[in-house]
Amino acid sequence: MAWAYVKSPTMEDLNRNRSTLVSHLIKPSYIDEVWRAKEDRIIYCYTRQLHNLGAMSSQRCESYHPVFRQVLNGQLALETAATRLCQRIKIAIQEMKTAEDDSMRRYPRIAEDPLFINLRFRVTEFALTKVALEYSEMVRAINNPTTDEDLGHCECSILRAFSLPCRHYLVRAWRTNEPLPRSLFHPRWWIRGPSITISEWKPKWEAPEAVISIARFAPTFTTQNQEQIASIRAALRPEELYRFDRQREALEARLESEVIAIGQQHLALQQLPVGRPDLIQYLNVPGRRRDQMQMQVV
């Protein structure tokens, strides 16, 4: 009941879940004296509207406590603990890099619509998936005969909490078939984006940038193989996952080098003339006939 109270998605649910919880407490006044004053900082229907870019914890490092407990304990010497801590942080940084590289190699199937062509390999897969789902929900709401095209006042949590375009910004794409520009996404979601130096950010429609593919070369896997690789990665422990990703990156780097070498070879081949060479003129060579010289050239 306490968890349902904390995770209340709306004010109606909050009032109902609070009443249910209070009715089962030995000291009901505890909720009114302690928790009612904290609801705007704790309850989900409030926190989902915070400008936190998807971070629901009070500190960014808070979610790493369970991770660090796997490698640390109170019996370790200070030097050993510091060494393990540094190793785990390096693994975490590499995991972040791998996640960004994955967004540069593929995009979610739900974003195959031409409206997302300017976003593929340019924003993270997480952000692209959330916006694609928001667009699908918007189209479903507009096409619902029980509703009209008016989407109402904008209080969308995807915009307030994640700084991603909500249906009120996406409806323009539905009406005009314009591809979504990257300026609708907060720079926090850009791949290789700029340093974030602004606090008051708002999405805006800008002229589409020149689409330059920055996706690394990677072998094309079938859907079945992708699912199998994903299930294998999910089952690996952190150390084995780190080794697996390093071996995969080494294999892809070697494959990239081989493909580059093959491409350079084809570039050299295409420079060779494929037509019949021009006849060499020996007009001033005494003692030789012109037709004999041409025959020798052929």
b/e for 220-238, b at 16 or more Cβ within 10 A?
eeeeeeeeeeeeeeeeeee
Retrieve residue 94's tokens. 């590499």
The confidence score (pLDDT) of residue 122 equals: 85
Q: Each residue of 4-22: pLDDT tens digit? A: 998 888 888 888 998 999 8
Q: Using CA atoms, how far apart are residues 71 and 183, in angstroms rounded to an integer? A: 41
Q: Using CA atoms, how far apart are residues 15 and 31, in angstroms rounded to an integer? A: 12
Backbone angles phi, psi at 190, to 5 degrees: -75, 145
Worst-scoring range by mean pLDDT, 106-115, 133-142, 202-211, 227-236? 202-211
The confidence score (pLDDT) of residue 105 equals: 73
Q: Using CA atoms, how far apart are residues 81 and 259, in angstroms rounded to an integer? A: 43
Q: What is the mean pLDDT of residues 195-202?
A: 77
Q: How confident is the model at residue 233 (pLDDT cuts 50, 70, 90)?
A: confident
pTM above 0.85, yes or no: no
Q: What is the mean pLDDT of residues 269-293?
A: 58
Q: Residue 230 pLDDT more than 80?
A: no
Q: Using CA atoms, how far apart are residues 1 and 17, in angstroms rounded to an integer? A: 7
Which residue would you say has higher pLDDT here, 145 or 148? 145
127 burial (CB, 10 Å; 0-12 / 13-18 / 19+) is buried
Length of the chain (residues)? 298
- Residue 133's CB is within 10 A of a number of other CB atoms, namely 14
The confidence score (pLDDT) of residue 298 equals: 47
State the DSSP string of 47-81. HTTS-STT--SSSTTGGGHHHHHTT--TTS-HHHH
In whole angstroms, how large is the CA radius of gyration of the chain?
A: 30
Q: Each residue of 146-160: pLDDT tens digit? A: 655 556 677 787 888
Q: Residue 265 pLDDT more than 60?
A: yes
The confidence score (pLDDT) of residue 212 equals: 44
Q: Each residue of 104-113: pLDDT tens digit? A: 777 777 777 8
Query: Are 179 and 115 contacting, i.e. CB atoms less than 8 angstroms apart?
Result: yes
